[in-house]
Structure 1
């Protein structure tokens, strides 16, 4: 821009101070330096130049009065040229001043517009935690003030704790609008825990499904991070199965419904998310139950999007007893790794046992090792079923569920079914009123003879 201004000014001075006629006006060949610059200006002047070049020698050799005519036309051409150059100079100057002042504003405006349309990206929103009160636009991450959570949990009082894990504690909170929520508190002093927090927020705020926990917002306080979910009144499946009640609230049909719900949640991750998502930490403590025992998958800190293609860069993670053998031994992660973990959950629902049990201080036994020989023997299978649901189901249904579980925990991943196939196997075992297709002819209660067809 500056170079154009200097050249234009030099040209103007040259035209004004030269004693010789302007080369453009008399049709002479311009200097190569100016030819490219003046090309846009040559078209309006060219008719004058061509008319002057076409004057006959007789007219130019006439009287003194006739000799003044070319000079007048030359002067007019010079004035037109100078005027055109002045307009160009003024335009260039205005353009230069505009670009000097406006790029920053336009960039800032477009950045703000992008944030408004797309919501807060994870990177930028982490830096804006303290300044943003609440983002409620669709697609954005809702950031809730720490003071709101502090007040809602009674300053994170122990009596408000509803769950615990390696990440920290989960608290029940009552927000200002009288909404009951669950608040997961995470200590993110390390890079790994910070990455898990960001990963969970990034995934959950995009995923909406009836069998996946609803993400409501997040917050921060120093190195501590908080994730706010819908409150699940019946806690985790682990607590229901292995807690004080020992599964007494879970009938056979209710257990099949929970298995079906979990399968539907997994199917959404594997088949309908783009790119597909591998949960990587499916277990009974990460299957939560609402007031009606609808099951929802939770805890997506270790989840991986498109994990099959990036498994070489993924750090080995998971929970003992649920980790697929190929992932544990070779680091090979696919959707079949989740299917293996689902098979373990299905065995827990069926047998009422934990995935790994201690036999001695230094000796453990997995549920797969213990159960496999009996799962495939129809005469022994009824004897190892959880006593709470023993003799309450149709034996054909029991054999079918056992067969599905055996397929899911096969050591070879290619032998395991897709989660969609598992889902289709479970649907006929769940009563219509619980989300399946089974029509129960007579209510089934613990201790009563099995019913249904």
Structure 2
């Protein structure tokens, strides 16, 4: 097998320690000495270790790649990886900001250690890494990316079913000029087949329309990982093969003649395992230096800018390897000097432009208004939040730009605008059939589920509505605009009080609008309103009257009570073949907009109800804002009103 390519990318949590740092470091030294020996003697090259007493206990695990059959090489990989930890176990700091959690992916082994019990089921899910090859797929993009996805799905399923190693490799031929694509998937062997499959599928779910077009990539969870490349990066024959032109598994490997005939296929240069990334943290500076490791990896670690709120500096910790800080001149060039012809929308926080970098990547550029001090708060919030959030149903933040008064966010460009552009227009609504609307509803639900439960940061969006749900080229929904999002205390899921109430009238839960009580159920309420708007084609806060009611919620409840719910549905969705599913969607939506937050389901419940046609759903009670206008005339008196990407943002004071 080829010499190991060293990749050292890590996730840290820093906590202040004094003398106790020596204790934790001493415990880490013991683990660093024992774990390599234990993994060398393990038949599946997997080992865990626990040493010390709380609060200085060290929990660690190590896993060698399934194709690394040499016991000595496996142990040496773990030993060398420990030497890269900041600080190494050999160097103890008596007074420092000391790292108590680290995660290293060093092919062909993975090491994780923490002061938290990452060995317990479900713990350590926030320790996530990804790397993407900086080169895009060329040729028939849809065919090739589709085959790559098919390969990854097959490899993941194969790995989950392979005992005892939970390891699989594969290869696919696109039957075009594109080279063979090789894949690998692996879980820690202590996982069951079901848990392994769930872990790997969770990683696959993070691939979005941007990352799916890279010709190589890697994703690492603490318990599972996968990788694919346009070159063979593992030892031995692939365990599965896709594509009719490939011989069955076990047949001789195709010769290099096919590959050599392509002049753009560059031989991979091996990077020594000794390559490392050094991070220095002191009390006097908060710089983080991120080094590129190898030609196929990009890691943008941090940048500094003056914080207009009065803090000395703003540091962005971009764990996402595709997050970058762009030069203003490059963004200016991409948008044709922010020309009106490139303008996509405008609001109180600034203007959004379409742009294109010279290498061909299309982008959406949000240029914050220079006079908006509050806009900078949202800018900072969005950078720090969404750079750490990655899901197929969330808009991907590619980077930012901060230069003097310029504050700019750069997103992936989505050509089909926002959901409101379709559902509230009689002509454009005809472009969306029932199956597409169901996919949009389910996609938004999955995006919120990720924010509330599965993301590294537990996040409440606070401003979910159709104009903040963007649609990609295949009409897949992506939740956008995280400027108002808030990290919530997972120990208090039923409510966190806040003095600053922000959002949009008609979508804000009553307990939040009136009392400032914020919880995950606030987003659930907004989701219910969005579903009713999708089904009816009516705005909840519009100027048109709904039957005897001015707001959509009261109208929907009256029709539900009178068993005339079909009258709520837009005429384009009336066919009887959808009647059962339509009724279930209305039922779910009404449960989401209940007056009391405790009566609303959680997003896991909602996803389960949307997936199952047989799951029993409880009957809703009278919804919030029943027979009350939610429009501007009778809304709470706002202190400030502005817009982001044509969305209304209302900032109010709780009563």
Please confirm whether the aligned pair reaches a TM-score higher than 0.5, indicating the same fold. yes
Go from structure 1 to structure 2 and tell me whether the alpha carbon gap of 1:210 and 1:365 turns closer, same or farther (over 3 Å shift).
same
Match of 2:387 among 205, 215, 219: 205
Cα deviation for residue 115 of structure 1 reads 2.9
Structure 1 residue runs without a partner (length 5+) = 1-105, 128-133, 430-453
C-alpha distance in structure 1 between counterparts of 2:599 and 2:287, whole Å: 50
Say whether residues 1:400 and 2:584 are aligned partners. yes
Cα deviation for residue 226 of structure 1 reads 1.2
Greater mean deviation of Cα atoms: 350-359 or 236-245: 236-245
Match of 2:534 among 332, 345, 349: 349
| Structure 1 SS opposite 2:473 | coil
- Counterpart mapping for 1:298-377 below 5 A: 298-306=480-488, 311-359=496-544, 365-377=550-562
Go from structure 1 to structure 2 and tell me whether the alpha carbon gap of 1:392 and 1:287 turns closer, same or farther (over 3 Å shift).
farther
- Counterpart mapping for 1:149-188 below 5 A: 149-188=331-370
Partner of 1:414: 598
Partner of 1:116: 290
Q: Larger C-alpha radius of gyration, 1 or 2?
A: 1
Match of 2:400 among 218, 222, 234: 218
Report if the CA contact (8 A) 1:357-1:364 is conserved: no
* Deviation by residue 1:283-315 (Cα, 9 ceiling, x = unmatched): 101111001011111100000001676943441
Go from structure 1 to structure 2 and tell me whether the alpha carbon gap of 1:167 and 1:209 turns closer, same or farther (over 3 Å shift).
same
Partner of 1:390: 574
Go from structure 1 to structure 2 and tell me whether the alpha carbon gap of 1:307 and 1:330 turns closer, same or farther (over 3 Å shift).
farther
Report if the CA contact (8 A) 2:469-2:479 is conserved: yes
C-alpha distance in structure 2 between counterparts of 1:340 and 1:349, whole Å: 15
* Deviation by residue 1:334-366 (Cα, 9 ceiling, x = unmatched): 000000000010001110001212259xx9922
Cα deviation for residue 171 of structure 1 reads 1.1
Residues paired across the two proteins, number? 314
Go from structure 1 to structure 2 and tell me whether the alpha carbon gap of 1:307 and 1:372 turns closer, same or farther (over 3 Å shift).
farther
Report if the CA contact (8 A) 2:363-2:411 is conserved: yes
Cα deviation for residue 201 of structure 1 reads 0.6
Say whether residues 1:381 and 2:588 are aligned partners. no
* Deviation by residue 1:262-303 (Cα, 9 ceiling, x = unmatched): 000000000012441000011101111001011111100000
Go from structure 1 to structure 2 and tell me whether the alpha carbon gap of 1:263 and 1:175 turns closer, same or farther (over 3 Å shift).
same
Report if the CA contact (8 A) 1:278-1:307 is conserved: no
C-alpha distance in structure 1 between counterparts of 2:337 and 2:306, whole Å: 23
C-alpha distance in structure 1 between counterparts of 2:455 and 2:318, whole Å: 23
Which structure carries more strand by proportion? 2
C-alpha distance in structure 1 between counterparts of 2:426 and 2:584, whole Å: 29
Cα deviation for residue 138 of structure 1 reads 4.7
Go from structure 1 to structure 2 and tell me whether the alpha carbon gap of 1:201 and 1:114 turns closer, same or farther (over 3 Å shift).
closer
Report if the CA contact (8 A) 1:288-1:295 is conserved: yes
